[in-house]
Amino acid sequence: MVDRVAREEHPPTRIPAPHPTVDTSPVTFSFKYLDLVGNRKFFFVHCERDFLEHLLTELARLSRGTVTDFCEYDNDRHSHAIIFEDTGEPHGFANLGEQVEPEEYWQFGIRPDRRWRVHGFFIDSVFYIVWLDPLHNLAAG
């Protein structure tokens, strides 16, 4: 009984289906909405040099691809849409304000052998990075 109750309070995290968009535009990145101090879980101080080096390498690699490539589910890159209600941050990106209302939010991993993640959203072919997550703090809480 206790086990069933615990499962109901913390349902398993689900990974959303691949994004259906066919967009052959090249991916570009923006730090316009980067949240460096608004949410303690994603403070920049958690980003060590190794994380930042691999982040830049991954951004350069992804920039050579298309939006469609990025939005395809990739188990190695951990690229998928974010359903905030299933995470430890059910209110999502609170720092964006009302002027920005993306339809979907995304995450990708930086290295397959690490839990390092980057969270953000697309507007057209621009991926706006909001949270750097070297500790994978967005996972269900």
Tokens representing residue 136 in the block: 């994978």
pLDDT in tens, 73-125: 666 778 888 999 989 899 888 878 767 778 789 999 998 788 899 999 998 89
Q: With bands split at pLDDT 50, 70 and 90, how would you rate the model's confidence at 141?
A: low
Residue 26 lies in a domain: no
- Tokens read off for 38: 């608004």
Say if 81 falls within a structural domain.
yes
8: pLDDT strictly greater than 50: no
Total structural domains in the chain?
Answer: 1
Q: Show the domain range for 68.
A: 33-133
Which residue type occupies 129?
I
pTM as predicted: 0.80
